[in-house]
Amino acid sequence: MSDNGERKLSIICSKGTLDMAYPGLVLANAALMEGIDVTMFFTFWGLEIVKRKSMDHLKATPLGNPAMGMPNIVGILPGVTAMASTMMKKEIEKLDFPPVSEFVEMIHDAGGKMYGCRMAMDMMKLEKEDLCDQIDDVIGAMEFMEMSDGAQIIFI
């Protein structure tokens, strides 16, 4: 809890695959529904979640993911990532979860704050204009730490 007694949650999104985008988005949405102040920080590959060109084209790769139940060697075959991504998108749709861009918009509209990581953006030669409109700003790690003072921090 923050000093004033309000609950705060800060979520760091560092991975840009379909299966890693939804945990942060679901947690942010649930927290906002509970009246918790939410701040999301997108860094490194997590920027893919909020990049205009990629946010609705994220993939789920079985390569290096033992939970998908297939040998790694199968994951390198052409078309396997596309198949896994399509299957996951269908399951997400069955659960009536929105696509990533719509989910980001919902979180923003509900009062969630979203920030891109300055260092990661500089490394990847990205500008704020490359990110979706719901990103409040591009900030450094120290600024994010200040914003997260008193918050529960979740790293995904």
Q: Say which residue, 28 or 68, is predicted with more confidence.
A: 28
Q: Which residues pair with 114 in a beta bridge?
A: 40
> For position 146, what pLDDT does the model report?
96
Structure confidence at residue 3 as a pLDDT band (50, 70, 90): low
76: number of Cβ within 10 Å: 12
Closest by CA position to 116, among listed 105, 100, 130: 130
Dist. CA 55–CA 144, nearest whole Å: 22
The pLDDT tens digits of the residues spanning 9-66 come to 999 999 999 999 999 999 999 999 999 999 999 999 999 999 999 999 999 887 777 7
Sign of CA dihedral 119, 155, 67, 54: negative
> For position 1, what pLDDT does the model report?
55
Cβ 75 vs Cβ 64: under 8 Å: yes
Which domains does the chain show, CATH number per domain? 14-59+99-155 (3.40.1260.10)
Instruction: Report CA-CA distances (Å) from 68 to 46, 63, 64, 65, 74.
Output: 21, 9, 9, 6, 11
Q: Say which residue, 33 or 5, is predicted with more confidence.
A: 33
State pTM to two decimals: 0.89
Within the chain, where are the H helices? 18-33, 72-75, 80-94, 100-109, 118-123, 141-147
The pLDDT tens digits of the residues spanning 74-132 come to 777 777 778 777 888 888 889 989 999 999 999 999 999 999 999 999 999 999 999 99
The answer, yes or no, to whether residue 4 has pLDDT greater than 70, is no
The answer, yes or no, to whether residue 145 has pLDDT greater than 70, is yes
> For position 90, what pLDDT does the model report?
87
Rounded to 5°, the CA angle 7-8-9 comes to: 130
